[in-house]
Structure 1
Amino acid sequence: MVNGERRRRTAKDASGLALELLELLAAEASPEQMTDLARQAEIAADSSAAAEFDRSLELALHVRSLFARRQQREAELAALIDAARDLTAPHELDPLLKMITRRTRLLFGVDMSYISFRDPESEGSYVSASDGHASALTIGYRVPNDAGLGREATYGGVPTWSSDYLADDRMRHSPVLDEIVRAEGLRGIIAAPLNHGTETFGTLYAADRKVRHFSISDVSLMTSLSDLAAVAINKARILEQRGSHLADLGELRRHGRLQTRLTDLALRGGGVKQIVTEAAAALDCALELRSAEHHRVAAAGDPPEVAEEQVRLALGEAYRTEQESPVPVRLAAPDGSPHPESWVIPVTAGDEELAVLLLHPRRPLDGSSRWKGQLVTQPLAVALQMQRGEEAVAGPFRDELFEDLLAETGRPVEQLAQRAARLGLSANHPMMVLVGRPEGGSLARAASWAAAYARRMGGLRSVRNGCVSLLLPLTGHLAEGGDGVRAHRVKDDMTSHLGHPVTVGASGPITGLDCVRDAHREAMRCLDALLALGRPGTAAGAEDLGFLGLLLSDAPDATSFVISTIGPLLEYDRLRLTELTRTLEEYFAAGGSPSVAAEALHVHANTVYRRLDRIAEVLGPDWSLPDRALDLQLALRLYRTRRALQPDSGHSVATPAQVTRTGTPPPGQACGSN
C-alpha cells in the first residue's frame, strides 16, 4: 500500500505509525488523512511490520466507516423522532398531509414526495398531497391501482422500490402511470403502504429525478415513516369526524330552536306561506311547498322549476325505501345524474300525505340534509292541519251554497252572489262545472278530496247520486285549454289521489251564478255519455262529445245542446236583426252550395258568401268541419222543430223570457258553454 519512495523504518517505527493512526481515528480524521500517513511511511516490503501497518490502516478505515454509519443512523433516528413529534400533534388533515410529504422529501434527500388515497367507490386512487411536483402529480389527479409501485406495495404490505422506474421490467406498468412518471422526470422511486389495521388506505411515495439505489437503511426508514404517517392520518380523520359531529350537534340545537319557533308560529295561526318564508331565510335555502296534488301552495327564496313527474318519482322512492318515516330523496337531473340542489321531503300526518316540500340549498348538503329538511315539515303539518280544521268549519256553508245554486227553485241571484263573495267566490269571474264519478273505492274519500281541491282552487263542492260536483274558477292550471282539457287535468289529479279510475264530465266556461245549474246538467250529460260509450275512467267536455252527449245521455237535455251549439248565432240574429241562422240552414239544405242557398233565400250568391264569413266569425273557423257541421245541423233541426211545435211563436226568434215560459232554447249563450 505504500510506494517505493517511503523511508525505511524499523519495527519500532511501525508501532509508532499504528499509534498515529489511532490518534487520527480518535480525532475523527478523514480517510484521506489516514491514507496520507501511510504514504509518509517507508517500511521494507519483506518486513512483517509492513503487513502489520497495512492491517492497522484497514481496521482504522473500517472503524471510521462504522462510526460514520452510526452517526448517519443517529441523524436519521433524530429526524424520525422529530417527524413523529410533529405528526402526533393535533393537525387538520390537509396541513398534515402537506407536512408528511415535505418531511419525506427532506429526510430522503429526494426531489419529490406525494401521497395517494384509495377511492372506495372506484378502482383507482387520487393524489391527496404532494411536495416538489412539477406539473403532473397535482392534488386530485386520479391514478389506477392495477399497476405500478403502489400496487406492489399494497399487495405486499411492505415498501417497494425501483432505482429507475421506466426501465424496470420487474413490475406491471400502466400507460397512465408511465406518462405521469415521464412528465415529472422521475427515475428512482420508493413506495410504502399506509395501513390502518389490516386495511391499506393509501401509499406514501419518495421519488428522485436521477437513478437512485435505495439501501436497506432507506427501506427501514421508509417503513417507519409510513407507519407514523398512517397513525397520524387516522388520528386527524377521527378528530375531523368528531369536530364535524360536534358542529352538527350545535347546528342541530340551533335548528331545533328554529323548529320550536316555527311550530309556535303555526299554533298562533301563522299560515304556511309565513312558515315557508321564515324557514327559507333561517336555513339559507329556497323552499317550495306543493299540495298533495302537486300544485304550488307557497314558495320562498326563488326556487327553480322542477317537473311534477320528477317529484312524483322521488316521492315513490322515499316511500319505497322507508315506509314508516319518509326521508329526503335527491332529485335526478335530466341526464340521470343526481341534482345537488333539490331534495323532496313529504309532509305527512300519520299515514296521510298532506303536502310535499322541495328543498333547494345554496350549497350541496350531506347527511345533515335529513334533519335540515324534516325540521320544517312538522310546523308545516301543524299549520296545514289547523287550516284544514278551519276549512272544515266553513265547509257546510260552501256545500250549502252550491246546493242552492243547483236547486230548481233557487234563491235570488243577488243573495247568492253576496254569499259567494263572503266565501271568496267571484260571480263575475269565468267558471266551469265538473262532475266526477269514482269507478271504485270510497265515495267519502272522493268527497274529502273534492272538498280540499275546491277550497284550494277557491270553488265549491257538492255530492249527489254517487258523484262529486265541482264549481271552479278558471285560475291556475285551469286557466288554459277547453273544457275537455280541464276535465282531463282534474281527472288526473283525482285519480292520482284516490288510486283508482274516475270518470269526469265538464262544462264551461260560464259567467254568472244563474248559469251554474245549466252547466251542471251539461256536465252530467257528458258523464252519462262517457259511461254509455263504455269509456269509464276518462274525461270529456261538451265540445268533445257534440250531439253524442245528447243522444247517449240518460236524461237528454236538448235545450242545453242547442244553446251550446248555435246559441251565439241565435243571439247575433236577435240583436242585429240578421238572418244568419236561416242562411246556415239553407246552406246545409243545399248540400253546402252557396249559389243554391242564395236561390232559396232570394239573395245574391255574394250575399251568402258574406254571411258565411260572418258565421265563421261568430261560431269559429272550424264550423264547417264534418264533426262540427253535424252538430250544427242537429241543433238547427231541434231548434226548428221546437219552433214548429209552438204555433203561437210565429217566425221570430224566441227571447230569453219566452224560453223561460215555454222551454224553447234561448237564442243567446248567457248560460251556456263554448
Structure 2
Amino acid sequence: MVDEADIHRPDLLTVLRLLAEEAPLESYEELLLRAGQECSAVERLRLEQAVRLAYVIHASQDRRRQREDGLAELVDTARDMTQPHDLGELLHVITRRVKRIVNADLACIGLREDDGSLSLHAPEGATTAVVPGMRLDGGPGHQAIAMGAPLWTADYLRDTGLEHCPHADEFVRAEGIKSLLAVPLIHGDSALGVLFCATRSVRRLTPEEIGLVCSLAALGAVAIERAERLQDARSEVSELELDGFRARTTLARLEQLGDAQSRMMSLLLSGADLDTVAQAAADALDSTLQLRDPAGRVMTATADMPDLDDAAVARTSWDAHARRTSVVHGEGTWVTPVVAGAENLGFVVLRPTTALVGEDQQVLRLVTQTFALQLLLQRGTAVTQAPVHDALFNALLALPSRDGQQARHLEQRLSDIGLDLTGPHVLLAVRPEGGGYGRAIVWASSYADAHAGLKTVQDGCVMLLLPGTDASAIARSVGAELAAVLGHPVTVGAAGPGRDPGDVARLHAEALRCLEALTTLDAAGSTAALGDLGFMGLLLSETHDVSGFIDTTIGPVLDYDRKNATGLTETLEAYFATGASPSKAAETLHVHPNTVSRRLERISALLGSGWQQPDRVLDVQLALRTHRMRSVLRLGAPDAARS
C-alpha cells in the first residue's frame, strides 16, 4: 500500500503523477516549495526542470482542449445552420456562435449591398443602439474583402496600418472596442459580406482562434447563400400562390359576369322596366345605382344619395362623356356615360360597397350598354351616327324660307320629341377659346336637353337653339356656365328672338356674324348679341332693324318726350351739335344753362350713367340722326321730329 508521504514526495515521480491527474498549476508550485526544504540542490534543480516541462505539457493540453471545444462548437454550429432558418435568424445564429467560440465581447455581420457598402446585421453583445442595416462605406471590412483573407488587430484605433473610415471609427469608439477580427464571407468567387468579432480589451488572437472563426465564416457563407436562395424561392412560391389566388378569383368573377350579363339581357328581352334592370345591375355590383338623363335628372334609382352635389355630378358626367369612359367622382362614387353611337343618352352614378376591380368595371360597362339599348327601345329609335336632335337642327338650318310644307313637316317632327319653335327662340354660336372642344359638345347636349332646345356642331362652333326672348342675357348665362366647366373663356355670338322655324337660318347667319365681329374687335372670350353691338349690330343684321336700334339706344328718351311733352331729344341734339357744351346748348335752345343741366341729368337717369362713354356716345348720335331722318322722310317737315 502506498504511503501518504510517498504520494507527496518532491521527486520526478510526483511530477508525472500530477501531470497524469491534470492537476492545477498551484500543485506544482507547492511541490517546488517542499523540494526547497527537503531536497538537495541537485535534486531541486532536476525537479524544477521537470516542472517546467510539465508546464509546457499542461499548456499544450489546454490548447488541445480549446481546439476540441472549438471544433465541437463548430460542429454544433454547422448542425444548427442546417436547420430551416430565415436569413435574419441565421445571421443571429452565426454571431452568437462566433462570440462564444473566441470568447469575444461583440460580434456582428456586414452584408454586402449592391452599391458596395456593408450593412450591419445581427449584433450580439452591442451596448449602443446598432440599427440593423446601418451602412459602412469603408474600414476593415472592405479591406478584408479586398484582401480575400482575415484581418485582425490587437488595438484597432491605434493601428495605423489599417484602413479607417469615419463611420467605422465612430462605431468602434462608441462600443469601446480594442481588438478586432474581420473575416470575409466568401462563397465561390464572390464575397457576401464580413464576419466581425471584437473585444473591449487589447488582445492578441491565436492562430487557432483565427482559424476557427475562418472555418465558421466559410460555413456561414454557404448557409447565407442557401438561406438567400430559400428566401427567394419562398418569395416566388408566395407570388405564385398569390397569382393562383388572383386567377381563381378572376375566374369566379368572370363567371359572375357571365351570369349578370345573361340575367340583364333576359330582363331586357322580356320587356322589363328600367327599375328592374337597375336593381339587377346594383345587385351584380353590390352597389347603389342611379340612372340619370343628359340633364342630370334621375330616371331610376335603387336608393337615394342625398350627399351628392347634382351640379358637381353633372360636371363629372361631361368629363366622362368627353373621355367615353368611367370617371371617379369624389370618394367611392363612379360616373359612367350611357351612349349610343355619338348620342348622349345619360349617365350612371354608382356607389359600390367595395372597390371596383377590373371585372367589376366590365360589369359596369355592360350595365351602361344595357341601359342604352333599353332607352333606345323605349324611345323607338335606332342607333345612328348622327344624333336625332342634331339632325333636326341641321334640317332647320337648311330649310328654305318659303318652303311652308317642309317647315310644317319639321314642326311635326319637333313636336314628336316635345319641342316647339312657334314660340320665341334665340340662336347662339359658341366657340371655346382654350381647348376642351369635346367636353363643350357634351355639355351643350345636356344643356340643350335640360332647356328644351337643340344642339349641333359646325366648323369648330357649338350651335344652340333655345327658347327665350333676350338673346343677350341667354348668351351671358351660357358663356359663364360653359367657361366655368372648361376652365377657360368661350366666345358667344347670339341672335334673336325668332318666332318661326323659317327664322332659324337667318338667326344662324346673324349669330355667326356677331361671333366674327367679336373676333375682329379683339373681344374673344366675351358674349354679345347684335343688339349689344349698337350701330354695328344694325349693319350686321339681315333685317336691318332700324326701329329696334333706335328703341334700344334712345327709346327711353323718346318715350319720355311723348308722355311728358318735354324736349329731351332736342336738348340731346343741341348738346352734341355744340361739341358737348351745356352752356352753348342753352344759348342754342334759348333756355337757362341750369335747365340744360337738369335735362341732361334726366337723360342720364333714362339711358344710364354710361351713355356719354366713347363706346356708346356714337350709337346715341347715330340713333338721333336716324330718328330725325326717318321723321323727315315720313312727314316731310322737320317740326315732326319729336313724334
Interval containing the TM-score (normalised by the shorter chain) = 0.5 to 0.7
Residue 227 of structure 1 and its aligned partner are, at CA, apart by 3.9
Alpha-carbon separation, structure 2, partners of 1:585 and 1:634: 12
Partners in 2 of 1:243 and 1:403 — Cα distance?
Answer: 63
> Is 1:434–2:429 an aligned residue pair?
yes
From 127, 133, 139, the counterpart of 1:148: 139
> Is this contact kept in 2: 1:186–1:208, CA < 8 A?
yes
Give 3-state SS (helix, strand or coil) of 2:131's partner: coil
Instruction: Note if 1:615 corresponds to 2:601.
Output: no
**Contact 1:505–1:524 under 8 Å retained in 2:** no
Contact kept, 8 Å, 2:152 with 2:180, in 1: the verdict is yes
Q: Is the 8 A contact 1:547 1:634 kept in 2?
A: no
Match of 2:455 in 1: 461
Query: Which residue number in structure 1 is paired with residue 508 of structure 2?
Result: 520
- The alpha carbon displacement at 1:37 in A equals 5.0
- Report what 1:399 is aligned to: 390
Provide the residue aligned with 1:239 in structure 2: 234
- Look up the SS of the partner of 1:247 in the other structure: helix
Residues 514 and 529, structure 2, Cα contact 8 Å, conserved in 1: no
Alpha-carbon distance between aligned partners in 2 of 1:481 and 1:211, rounded to the nearest angstrom: 91
Query: Any gaps of 5 or more consecutive residues in structure 1?
Result: 1-5, 282-286, 305-348, 350-368, 439-445, 495-502, 654-674
Which amino acid letter does the alignment assign opposite residue 393 of structure 1? V
Residue 215 of structure 2 is aligned to residue 224 of structure 1: no
Q: SS at the partner of 1:393?
A: coil
Q: How do residues 301-312 of structure 1 correspond to structure 2 at under 5 angstroms?
A: 302=331
Shift of 1:85: 1.9
Deviation at 1:419, TM superposition (A): 5.8
CA-CA distance at 1:32 after TM superposition:
4.4
Q: Quick check: 2:285–2:363 contact (8 Å CA) kept in 1?
A: no
* Alignment correspondent of 2:56: 58
Which residues in structure 2 correspond to 1:329-408 (within 5 Å)?
A: 375=359, 378-379=362-363, 382=366, 390=376, 393=383, 396-403=387-394
Conservation of the 8 A alpha-carbon contact between 1:433 and 1:469: yes
User: What is the CA deviation profile of residues 214-266 of structure 1, one whole-angstrom value per residue up to 9, with x for unaligned ones?
Assistant: 64133432443344234324422431343144224424543564566568469
Q: Is the contact between residue 457 and residue 473 of structure 1 (CA under 8 Å) also seen in structure 2?
A: no
Structure 2 Cα separation of the partners of residues 134 and 54 of structure 1: 42
Find 1:108's aligned residue among 99, 104, 114: 99
Change (3 A) 1:626 1:56: same
Q: TM-score, normalised by structure 1?
A: 0.57
1:453 offset after TM fit, Å?
Answer: 5.6
1:291 corresponding residue in structure 2: 320
Query: How far apart, in 1, do the equivalents of 2:183 and 2:190 lie?
Result: 14
Match of 1:14 in 2: 12
Distance, in Å, in 2 between the alignment partners of 1:561 and 1:116 is 97
Distance 1:525-1:570 versus aligned 2 partners, 3 A rule: same
TM-superposed CA distance for 1:374, in Å, is: 5.2
String of CA shifts for 1:530-574, please: whole Å, max 9, x gaps. Answer: 78x599xx7764379947975996x766449966x9749748987
CA 1:636/1:517 → structure 2, altered by over 3 Å: closer, same or farther?
A: farther
Structure 1 pair 18–117 and aligned structure 2 pair: CA distance change class (3 A): closer
User: Matched residues in 2 for 1:167 and 1:246: separation?
Assistant: 55
Is 2:589 aligned against 1:605? no
| Alignment correspondent of 2:291 | none
8 A Cα contact 2:111 2:120, kept in partner: yes
- In the superposition, relative to structure 1, how do residues 512 and 35 fare at CA in structure 2: closer, same or farther (>3 Å)? farther
With over 3 angstroms needed to count, the CA separation of the structure-2 counterparts of 1:556 and 1:191, relative to structure 1, is farther
Question: TM-score, normalization: structure 2?
Answer: 0.59
Change beyond 3 A, Cα 1:238–1:403: same
Question: Residues of 1 paired with 2:412 and 2:81: CA distance?
Answer: 92
CA distance in 1, matches of 2:71, 2:516: 100
Give the direction of change, closer, same or farther, for the CA distance of 1:291–1:67 in structure 2 (3 Å limit). same
Structure possessing the higher radius of gyration over alpha carbons: 2
Answer yes or no: is the 8 Å Cα contact 1:187–1:209 preserved in 2. yes
Could you tell me how far 1:397 is from its partner in structure 2?
Answer: 3.1
Paired residues of 2:98 and 2:216 also in contact (CA < 8 A): no
3-state secondary structure, aligned to 2:383? helix
Q: Say if 2:90 and 2:224, in contact at 8 Å, map to a contact too.
A: no
Q: Could you say which residue in structure 2 is the equivalent of 1:661?
A: none
Q: Give the Cα–Cα distance (whole angstroms) in 2 for the partners of residues 571 and 226 of structure 1.
A: 102
Q: What is the CA distance between 1:84 and its match in structure 2? A: 3.9
1:507 equivalent to 2:494? Answer yes
Alpha-carbon distance in structure 2 between the residues aligned to 1:172 and 1:566 = 99
Distance, in Å, in 2 between the alignment partners of 1:196 and 1:583 is 112
CA-to-aligned-CA distance 1:17-73 (integer Å, 9 cap, x gap) = 32441233xxxx444455555655566258767645543442243123212321133
Partner of 2:455: helix, strand, or coil? strand
The 1-side partners of 2:500 and 2:68 are apart by 107
**Which residue number in structure 2 is paired with residue 78 of structure 1?**
76
Alignment of 1:462-541 (within 5 A): 462=456, 469-471=463-465, 506-507=493-494, 520-529=508-517, 541=527
Shift of 1:399: 2.3
Mapped to 2, the partners of 1:461 and 1:396 lie a distance apart of 10
Paired letter, 1:612: S
Q: Secondary structure at the match of 1:506?
A: strand
Q: State the shift of 1:107 in Å.
A: 4.2
Q: Tell me, yes or no, if the aligned pair for 1:130 and 1:137 is still in contact at 8 Å.
A: yes
Distance 1:59 1:190, change over 3 A: closer
1:62–1:293 distance in 2 versus 1, CA, 3 Å: same
Whole-Å separation in 2 of the counterparts to 1:73 and 1:592: 120
Q: 1:23 aligns with which of 21, 24, 30?
A: 21
> Could you say what secondary structure the match of 1:58 adopts?
helix
Unaligned 5+ residue runs, structure 2? 1-5, 269-273, 289-312, 334-339, 341-354
Q: SS state of the match for residue 223, structure 2?
A: helix
User: Given that residues 110 and 193 in structure 2 are in contact (C-alpha distance below 8 angstroms), is that contact kept between their aligned partners in structure 1?
Assistant: yes
Matches within 5 A, 1:198-213: none
Output the aligned Cα RMSD.
Answer: 6.7
Cα contact 2:554–2:620 (8 A) shared by 1: no
CA distance in 1, matches of 2:63, 2:27: 14
Give the Cα separation in 1 of the matches to 2:200 and 2:570: 101
Partner Cα separation in structure 2 for residue 384 and residue 84 of structure 1: 61
Distance, in Å, in 1 between the alignment partners of 2:370 and 2:577 is 64
Amino acid at match of 2:83: R
Code of the aligned partner of 2:383: V
**Higher mean C-alpha deviation, range 455-464 or range 240-249:** 455-464
Mapped contact 1:431–1:511 kept (Cα < 8 A): yes
